[in-house]
Chains A and B, each alone.
Chain A
Amino acid sequence: MTDRNRIIVIGAGHNGLVCAAYLARAGRQVTVLEAANQVGGASVTREIAKGFRVSACAHLSYLLDAGIVRELKLASHGLKWAREGLKTVALAPAGEHLVLDGPRAVSPAVSDTDRKAYAEYHARMLKFARVLGKQHRRTPPRVLGGGRSDLVTGALLGLDIRRLGRDAMREFLRIAGINIYDVLEEKFDSPLLKGALAFDAVLGTNLGPRSNNSVLALLHRLSGQALGGTGPSLPEGGMGAVSEALAAAARAAGATIRVNSPVARITQDGDRVSGVELEDGEKLAAATVISNADPSRTLLGLLGARHLETGFVHRVRHIRAKGMAAKLHLALEAMPSIARLPSELAGERLVIAPDLGYIEHAFDAAKYGQCSPEPALEVTFPSLHDKSLAPAGKHVLSAIVQYAPFDPRASGDTARKELLDHTLAVLERAAPGLRRQVIAAELLLPADIEREFRITGGHWHH
């Protein structure tokens, strides 16, 4: 008979750690098992060259729930922000860059009409995102056949939508299912503004601006800010610091965290789980096993299809989880100067997606298994805010590169080299001379992300 109080969490990603921390606080005996040699999953800081450290996968924090930060006292466990609320700077080929700072869109290339329209758009999207954000701390309701709590959450969602007011509710129901291209074309003229706003909707997804569902993806992204968050922020020490703080909180609450402990399978006794078996053969008993791994790895890999119904297995097999975002890290000899951008803005979140067509073309290539010839980029220089990331005077660049196919037509090595070339060419155009400053470069394709961070498909939303 296993101890009812024992809980095993598989994976010390940030969600696994949060889960462990809360359960440990509630008095459970929690063990977290992590396959890698450090905690954090995709929220880790790694060295790419001697003295140069980067957030190896996720690189900005914008959705971290403020309530959790408070409740788990992450500040007292070492979480500090190097910079909160980065502005977005959309780089224009002609140099009339655009700064998006809250409801303000500032650029000589953006008309007053667009500026006004942007302020309205910003407010409205945040209002919609708030509806989604409020559901984040609720368990999604079952539509039918659920219990009272499902009815309550369902009703709360309905109420949240109703509370938008009639006009906003109508607009919400109209645009929630469609694509960002259509929404932006209705509201704005400036190609640069449209490009920057569309990029936020497709970032990290398998969608182009014209793909339906991209509005929903945008609302998801904005939901952190909509609930009072500061927007994209850089933790001191990189994203690994968030995980370290969570791990410290979990440990303080009494949880045990073991790294270098890959789980081979979830063991079962009859029709219920009995614990886990590690790859080295060690067996751990527990009445409850929680997986932080993605559904396909968990259900097909760890639990095993033979323990599941065929219909269910079929569904799991068809979860669409192929990532299309690559990650670029550069160690730089010196801070490159970005053409016609005041240096105080170089540390903001830089976006290279000059218009809707640019992103759509980048997407089209990836549909057919090719890397975008001209990728769209989200670029940060975290070392400008956090000296711990690079040797004095030197810098690191961390960028999300879209789009990269999960299964490129060419071999992975060819695709990686190709995309790195294309990306550096795009960067060089924005910051002439950047190429010469590169000491080390690392580009992770979705398949690399799958391998290194154990995320099936390498999709950051799994």
Chain B
Amino acid sequence: MTQYDAIVVGAGHNGLTNAAYLARSGLKVLVVESNPWIGGAAVSRENENGWIYTNCTYVSSLLRPELFRDLELARHGLQIVPYGGGVSITSKGDILGNYTDEHVQRREFARHSPRDADAYHRYSTDVTRQCKFIRPLLLRTPPDPTSFKPRDLREMLFLGREFAKFGEQFVYDTMRFYSMSIADFLDEYFESDLIKCHLSGSGIIGSAMGVYSPGTAYVLLHHYMGDVDGSIGAWGFARGGMGAVSKAIASAYKSYGGEIITDAPVERVIVKGGRVAGVVTKNGNEYHAKIVVSNLDPRRTFTKIFDPKDLPPGIVEKANNWKIRGSSGKLNIALDGLPEFPALGKDNPLAYGDMHFLDSLEKMERAYDDWKNGTWSKEPYLDLLIPSMTDPTMAPPGKHFMSVFVQYVPPKIHGREWTDADREGFKNTVLDQIARYSPNFKSLVRHVECRTPRELEAEVGLTEGNIFQGELTMDQLLFNRPFPGYAQYRGPVKGFYMCGSGTHPGGGVMAAPGANAAREILIDLKRPGIVPEGWQDD
């Protein structure tokens, strides 16, 4: 039984970021983590001797550069290695590749449609403008539109001004953009089905929506607004897998004097006289603090670690209505060699990036229909990467590690729980799809870690395995995230805060929710100016 100033429940990257800032301000901070390892979904583990699996999240782009610099993550060992390439392969063996050189990219598009090659410039200008609009909002607390407090009014005004900067047409475009489907959005620019498929993947990753579902255009933006070394939309590998992100943040946190206890699942948040007093772990240990911060998703936070009697009426209902649908799965594969993709030929640099097997938007939408009907997609959308080609620390020499993100995978099969047989069936669906494009693939497979929403929930603690801690739809974004009236990181009990990606600005390993929550806590403690706010243009 020890007294702390603040306790953070969950050592995900946001929990650690939050804890790091609280510790840096001079508070005595404790992070309690239920798993024997830290990192939550940003974790690297050696599941096969000699192979490092980046078990859940696998690439980095959205991590806020301001936090990266401010927490000196490079000094704490984090290295983000940008990768090039990326390609969509059709069942007929045609390909569409990503190239960094604008002219080469144009020629690649023109091969499929000269008209689309012309449209690409217009498309990327429009999307980049949306990114530029949204980026300054990431490291800011959303205003409450129902409030008349000076700070909320000021922030609303700030939002309005940011909007106005881009001009009237942009405002209309934005209103349309946020309510459109990715398919309709791309239709405004492109005619080639393959080009549309190739670009639409980012609109559905992690989301329980199809390419035809209104609202998916925003999800695309959510995946585009990041950057690596200042190049917008670029993605990179964290050297050593995404666990390296958590490790570096944890190292920064410890350098400020913070403590972490692992293997310590929290049983309950202690509430006394209407305010939090600490936490009790499942093994009966009590840790006391006047501030408790939850890194867990909103559903888990209010239904699992609170006594409902301690919460105001309506909160449990809101938590149960929180949309946190599992829609993704993950296969981590140890390979004895590099698989060949005949469509790409030998040593094609495109293979360094994300690979997809696509034919048409219709096929992608049908994958979503399967999910709606309660089963994994028979023709899933895969985001396949071989990180070991770029980062040799991921596998023994000559061997490779493959990360396969799979969309769509339901949290339940026809309403019942997943069985091991289901998981085997799902795994084979994915392996079979890859093998259709790579004849020698199956012979190289040495070990497969297959994650369905069931495992993601059980091991990482993401309810239903939702990678964003909650859908990125209008009812759950900005001042609605996680609940209207609770979007400023303060929970419904005094001294209780939320810092997971279930808060603004959402998931994607940004570390922004953790930092924003720390800023609010430190405002309440009258310690301003410690957490960076807004956006610094490089």
Interface residues of A (CB under 8 A from B): 142-145, 162, 166, 169-171, 173-178, 182, 186, 207, 210-213, 314, 318, 320, 360, 364, 367-368
A144 with B475: CB separation less than 8 A:
no
B146 with A170: CB separation less than 8 A:
yes
Give CA–CA (A174, B187) in the complex, Å: 28
Name 7 extra pairs, CB < 8 A, besides A144-B168, A182-B323: A145-B168, A174-B480, A212-B473, A213-B214, A367-B212, A367-B362, A368-B362
Complex interface: chain A residues within 8 A of B485 (CB): 170
B214 with A212: CB separation less than 8 A:
yes
B362 with A143: CB separation less than 8 A:
no
Complex interface: chain B residues within 8 A of A364 (CB): 369, 372
- Min CB gap B488→A, angstroms: 13
Give CA–CA (A143, B163) in the complex, Å: 10
Who on chain B is nearest to A185 by CB?
Answer: B321
Who on chain B is nearest to A317 by CB?
Answer: B188
Who on chain B is nearest to A368 by CB?
Answer: B362
A178 with B473: CB separation less than 8 A:
yes
A-B contact count (CB 8 A): 67
B475 with A174: CB separation less than 8 A:
yes
Q: Known: A143-B168, A144-B164, A367-B365. Contact between A212 and B484, CB under 8 A?
A: no
A173 with B145: CB separation less than 8 A:
yes
Within 8 A of A (CB), among B360-412: 362, 365-366, 369, 372
B214 with A182: CB separation less than 8 A:
no
Complex interface: chain A residues within 8 A of B199 (CB): none
Give CA–CA (A210, B474) in the complex, Å: 14
Give CA–CA (A215, B168) in the complex, Å: 26
Give CA–CA (A320, B183) in the complex, Å: 12
Complex interface: chain A residues within 8 A of B365 (CB): 367-368
Interface flags, B433-476, vs A, CB<8A=1, else 0 = 00000000000000000000000000000000000000001110
B179 on interface, CB distance cutoff 8 Å: yes
Complex interface: chain B residues within 8 A of A186 (CB): 321
Q: How many residues of chain B get a CB closer than 8 Å to chain A's CBs?
A: 31
Complex interface: chain B residues within 8 A of A210 (CB): 213, 372
- Min CB gap A184→B, angstroms: 12
- Min CB gap A373→B, angstroms: 14
B146, B184, B214, B323: the one within 8 Å of A169 (CB): B146
Give CA–CA (A171, B321) in the complex, Å: 13
B104 on interface, CB distance cutoff 8 Å: no
Give CA–CA (A318, B215) in the complex, Å: 17
B479 on interface, CB distance cutoff 8 Å: yes
- Min CB gap B306→A, angstroms: 20
Complex interface: chain A residues within 8 A of B474 (CB): 176-178, 212
Who on chain B is nearest to A320 by CB?
Answer: B184
Give CA–CA (A314, B169) in the complex, Å: 14
Interface flags, B468-498, vs A, CB<8A=1, else 0 = 0000011100011000110000000000000
Q: Known: A143-B171, A143-B172, A177-B179. Contact between A360 and B372, CB under 8 A?
A: yes
Most interface-central of B146, B188, B209 (chain A CB within 10 A)? B146
- Min CB gap B68→A, angstroms: 32
Q: Known: A144-B168, A177-B474, A360-B372. Contact between A166 and B184, CB under 8 A?
A: no
Give CA–CA (A364, B362) in the complex, Å: 11
Who on chain B is nearest to A186 by CB?
Answer: B321
B167 on interface, CB distance cutoff 8 Å: yes
Within 8 A of A (CB), among B481-530: 484-485
Complex interface: chain A residues within 8 A of B479 (CB): 173
Give CA–CA (A145, B172) in the complex, Å: 12
B188 with A318: CB separation less than 8 A:
yes
Complex interface: chain B residues within 8 A of A207 (CB): 214
B179 with A182: CB separation less than 8 A:
no
16 contacts between A and B (CB under 8 A): A144-B167, A169-B145, A169-B146, A170-B484, A173-B145, A177-B475, A178-B473, A211-B213, A212-B179, A212-B209, A212-B213, A212-B214, A318-B188, A320-B184, A367-B212, A368-B362
Complex interface: chain B residues within 8 A of A360 (CB): 372
B362 with A166: CB separation less than 8 A:
no
Complex interface: chain B residues within 8 A of A169 (CB): 145-146
Complex interface: chain A residues within 8 A of B212 (CB): 367
Q: Known: A170-B485, A174-B475, A178-B474. Contact between A318 and B167, CB under 8 A?
A: no
Give CA–CA (A171, B214) in the complex, Å: 20
Within 8 A of A (CB), among B395-432: none
Complex interface: chain A residues within 8 A of B164 (CB): 144
